[in-house]
Structure 1
């Protein structure tokens, strides 16, 4: 029987990023495709029946697919230079939990599936949890088809190249109806569990969060011949906007706002940019506060841009309101894991999208570093294997 640690060790060389450190596994990249093949192989070894649906979600079934099934799983894609556990921990734990249930002699009274959702991080096409959004209809299919990656490829083109029919992308009520309950195990992405005490927590809620693109347009010109007084430099405006984002968020208790990506056009060393795109991530437990936060940032950005002779546009790329997991299912998880603490999280997950449509819950596994979306993300081997056992306990109770 495989342990979570041995399963993760078997993919430890897939998608290593020599430049950033950690792992870079964008959806439908060679690395992510290799991981999808790995999962299909592992599921096959366990006698699970594997299918890939029209949105690219992989389902591995123990028992015939039918409405009301118990589903667990996570994702395999990563942010650029991400850690080894964000996503794959949940998938490996689900496989190990299936092994554990069989070793206990559990005979499921309803079907169980392990699911792998594509583009959870949104690192390639800019929309987080794209697979679960498509499944539920939380994103318009035409919008999804027209999303573009950094190389200009549309999601429709990439989907077609990977065996999907772009015309069939979108809400899938039949597949959604097969989910009776969804449980996602994930590495904790903060220090809520601490270094002592239980290594497994039950999730209670997810902070409301969204992504917006701020595009600052100015006048492209020659860096050597354009006098400082004659410039309309969007990079100068962008720098001030980034500082304003920090200032606005720091003034609002409980708010988080981040500019983690900036892209100048055309991007030459000796060129004054004509446009600079900034991507803003903003979060708060109160959705109204998040909206005001973004509105305030936009207002300050407009003034900064105008002062520099530039213009600015704000485009919402994705938004998920604060999610509270199904209270009845949460109680069942707590009953199955006596003494497990209950944690809220500031990170988005497929479980958060699915929670609006089916009873959903989460388990978090201790991360002693408290760091995530970084090579320093970590889970101790004993905690990883204990997490799979806890997942098996939960699944057994629900089965």
Structure 2
């Protein structure tokens, strides 16, 4: 069995460890998370690697160098899932990292693999609990956030048998000098370009807003078309304008994912429509300009259609570039696979770590572009290529 096939088999095994029978669901510090960590630790101890848990529930697996050194290179991804998930979003990166710890030749630095306890934001409504513990960004405000059962993060950590007072011990130490994350692309680009692997240059910035068009509800049968103040037609025009701008702006993606008309009756002209707007681009200046253009369009539509428009910003996440030096070494290591260079449209733990130490990412092709779905899959041959790329990458780091 090739290493790539072994990695895929392990991903499938972890997918069977779940809090919900018949699907793959693991949330932060759940019973299934404990069982999944136990399985990872069992694989690690077969090779006599050192394992430990930090106070955020991250599992650390350490392969010590044969020489005396403080230098440690990190490999990591997340072990939690969305509800009814696939087998590869997160765990694939962990198991590729474990294979590198198992198979890499002696290196002049320690290799540390981290299975982050949380990235998806499912249980507490905010993401990256695992990686934020490494950067000291689990603030007191975040620790008091509650889940649907009224349990806050601090209480969940304590109930799991960990000590929130030890969170500072999870923070990166000066010997950590770089970070690599493997991840499925979660999109169709690599498959469309017939490439197995992708070199991530940046994790794109995001703007999230809520817009509300307010007109006047009235009877659908007795109000002539020219006398209407229809909030839904105004919102619909805005949705199409959003699509047009994104199609005509290279690299921009813009989405209206939620649109709620009120009162929502078939025989009533909608008097109010609230909608979400999600705008993303690798260049923050382009993203900000696009948001301003869309808000100007919304104002223009509101005047023409005689409705009012208001908006609220929900998120302004800057783009996070990957380290150019590490990314260059990764591109050299991946060269035999003809990798594509691309930006990530989704958030990843690498964006949390990148401001604190050099970080890079390698994407693997996602057949059908399908992710966050039980049918999510990978090609074992792609996983093998990613593993071989990882070996060459570590060799290049060792020779720098």
The TM-score bracket by the shorter chain reads 0.7 to 0.9
CA distance in 1, matches of 2:239, 2:123: 22
Partner of 1:85: 88
Match of 1:146 among 144, 147, 152: 144
Partner of 2:285: 288
- Measured after TM superposition, the shift of residue 75 of structure 1 is 0.8
CA distance in 2, matches of 1:136, 1:182: 13
- Measured after TM superposition, the shift of residue 344 of structure 1 is 1.6
1:72 maps to 2:78 = no
Which secondary structure does the structure 2 equivalent of 1:185 belong to? strand
CA distance in 1, matches of 2:197, 2:14: 24
Which secondary structure does the structure 2 equivalent of 1:337 belong to? helix
- Measured after TM superposition, the shift of residue 91 of structure 1 is 0.8
- Measured after TM superposition, the shift of residue 87 of structure 1 is 0.7
TM-score scaled by length of structure 1:
0.75
1:146 touches 1:155 (CA, 8 Å); kept in 2?
A: yes
2:157 touches 2:163 (CA, 8 Å); kept in 1?
A: yes
Q: Which runs of 5+ in 1 are unaligned?
A: 219-225, 265-274
- When residues 248 and 191 of structure 1 are mapped into structure 2, their CA distance, relative to the original with a 3 A threshold, is closer
CA distance in 2, matches of 1:227, 1:150: 40
1:38 maps to 2:39 = yes
- Measured after TM superposition, the shift of residue 31 of structure 1 is 3.4
Deviation per residue, 1:297-316 (Å, 9 max, x gap):
66777999999999967353
Partner of 1:12: 15
1:236 touches 1:308 (CA, 8 Å); kept in 2?
A: no
1:210 touches 1:281 (CA, 8 Å); kept in 2?
A: yes
1:25 touches 1:78 (CA, 8 Å); kept in 2?
A: yes
Which secondary structure does the structure 2 equivalent of 1:128 belong to? coil
Partner of 1:269: none
The more displaced of 296-305 and 119-128 is 296-305
Which secondary structure does the structure 1 equivalent of 2:255 belong to? strand
1:61 maps to 2:62 = yes
Count of residue pairs the alignment pairs up: 381
- Measured after TM superposition, the shift of residue 56 of structure 1 is 3.0
Partner of 1:117: 116
2:135 touches 2:172 (CA, 8 Å); kept in 1?
A: no
Instruction: Give the structure with higher Rg (CA).
Output: 2
TM-score scaled by length of structure 2:
0.75
CA distance in 2, matches of 1:256, 1:116: 30
- When residues 162 and 354 of structure 1 are mapped into structure 2, their CA distance, relative to the original with a 3 A threshold, is same
Partner of 1:222: none
Q: Which runs of 5+ in 2 are unaligned?
A: 224-230, 262-271
Which secondary structure does the structure 1 equivalent of 2:39 belong to? helix
